[in-house]
Amino acid sequence: MTQDNHNNAYKFGMVIDLDKCTGCGSCMVSCMSENNVPFKEDESNKRDSITWMRVYKLTNGKSFPDTEIAYLPRPCQHCGGEGDHGHSPCVSVCPATATDYGYDTGIVSQIYTRCFGCRYCMGACPYHARYFNWWDPKWPEGMEKYLSPDVSPRMRGIVEKCSFCYHRYQAARDKAYYHGDKDHIKEEDYQTACTTACPSNAITFGDLNNPAHKVHQIVKPDPHPDPRNHHVVGKSRNPKVFRLLERLGTNPKVYYLSEREWVRKQGDHYLEGEWDKIKNHHGTTSHG
């Protein structure tokens, strides 16, 4: 974090159109390839398979032929924490400051060489976005030649997760600096690997604080805390947009978009009758 741009800090975020997402898996592989994610012989146990970007399959629970499917890609949600103060569920619990909140970017980082593998952050994360290196990462002989120097391969015994391709942010920042406008990274200069790979253009990435960015225009984040839950900040004023488990107050920077009500409803838990009251209520009316 640099002091000089603290006042106009970025808040990088993402909105994923679940009506466009086809569950094709391009984002997952692009992420793995970009970030030197290892693979092992059996990856069918999804509870020990490192996938920074994981695509969940949702169903509406109805029987044939009324059953429906939607796919939900889940990167790290880069939570701002309660009140969006930077105390993400994981950051606030890490005993060794191995995961940190970037107040200048809104990105939750992971310092691999500092993490000592206590896994408290994994317990604290309700999105299961964090993965532990149960094994040494191993590539078949010769395959380590494709590893990218932008991201360190992780050693056994530590936690890793999506970084919003932080190295791409660094590259974009360097570029902006080079062009003499170090505080203004261009929207197209910083895009994550999953965003650029998506063949359906379902993912939109950018600065949630910047009204010129598409992500801001789709999400229309509410700058005021939710009057019904003061922990929640940045709720979308687009009625088709939701966040995962928003009520917990984690304040994710990953938003989801869907025209389908049953999909939106699966974003959070609702007591009986609650959904009908909540579903059309989005954000405060002030601040157009």
Residues 77 to 96: which contact other proteins by CB under 8 A? 82, 87, 89, 92-96
Q: Hey, is 174 helix, strand or coil? A: helix
Closer Cβ to other proteins, 73 or 221, answer by number:
73
Burial class (CB in 10 A: 0-12, 13-18, 19+), 140: exposed
- Peptide bond connecting 126 to the previous residue in cis, omega within 30 degrees of 0: no
Tell me the site size for other proteins, rule CB under 8 A. 124
Stretch that binds other proteins, among 111-119, 177-185, 204-212, 213-221 (CB under 8 A): 111-119
Instruction: Please report whether residue 169 would count as binding other proteins according to CB under 8 A.
Output: no
201 binds other proteins (CB under 8 A): yes
Question: In the bound complex, what is the minimum distance in angstroms from residue 81's beta carbon to other proteins?
Answer: 9
Helix (H) or strand (E) holding 12: strand 12-17
Cβ pair 129, 77 in contact under 8 A? yes
Q: Tell me the three state secondary structure of residue 13.
A: strand
Footprint (CB under 8 A) of other proteins, residues 217-256: 229, 244-245, 247-250
Supply 29's token pair: 């592989």
* Minimum CB distance to other proteins smaller for 51 or for 210: 51
232 and 247 Cβ atoms separated by less than 8 Å: yes
CB of 93 to other proteins, least distance (A): 5
> In the chain, what is the straight-line distance between the N-terminal and C-terminal CA atoms, in Å?
30
Judged by beta carbon, residue 9 or residue 151, the one nearer other proteins is 151
Residue 92 has phi, psi (to 5 degrees) of -70, -20
- Please tell me whether residue 139 binds other proteins under the rule CB under 8 A: yes
* Cα 31 to Cα 168: distance, rounded to the nearest angstrom: 12
- Write the CB contacts of 237 (distance below 8 Å, at least 6 apart in sequence): 220, 221, 222, 282, 283
Answer for which of 166, 190, 242, 256 binds other proteins (CB under 8 A) is 166
CB of 37 to other proteins, least distance (A): 8
Question: Containing H/E element for 121?
Answer: helix 120-124
Whichever of 11 and 154 has its CB closer to other proteins, that residue is 154
Strand-pair partners of 59: 69
Which of 105, 192, 236, 266 binds other proteins (CB under 8 A)? It is 266
Among 109, 176, 182, 189, binds other proteins (CB under 8 A): 109
Residue of the chain from 1, 2, 6, 148 that contacts other proteins (CB under 8 A): 148
Residues 7-66 that bind other proteins (CB under 8 A): 17, 19-20, 22-26, 28-30, 32-34, 36, 39-49, 51, 55-59, 62-65
